[in-house]
Structure 1
């Protein structure tokens, strides 16, 4: 397979997921059966997904959003002027 300097170069290029996939012997055996384009496509797809998920997670943490809300937790006190029947009707759509 690839030698260690190639894996290190991938890490220097900040392609850590691809480097990990190349250095993992379990992945190497399963990827050998695929063509070069298929292997490269799988590695690029995984790298892209990890980066996208990390970005979403980072942005959600930065947004400091409150807890996830759900319809069952709505407080129908009189001061809020929320009609429970309307909410139930809208939630059944």
Structure 2
């Protein structure tokens, strides 16, 4: 079975003073009353995960958007997914 992940709908992406932030709504757990700042790459990945995607889909889309001369992008995407799953920002689709 192919694993797909999606952004947790309890977090909304907004731009505040030119900066991309996630604002928790609903059941946001440890992030209640917090705002999470995203860099450009994390913002790009967050937007991709608005619909359920496989890791391979996301890597393919990122390679279209960003150059990766050092070959580190894929590992960065795995780290993003691992960390965002850990904190409940991403959810695994059933």
Q: Which has the higher strand share?
A: 2
- Fold shared, TM-score > 0.5 on shorter chain: no
Which protein has the larger Cα radius of gyration, Structure 1 or Structure 2? 1
Which structure has the higher relative contact order (CA within 8 Å, separation 6+)? 2
Q: Which has the higher helix share?
A: 1
TM-score, scaled relative to structure 2: 0.31
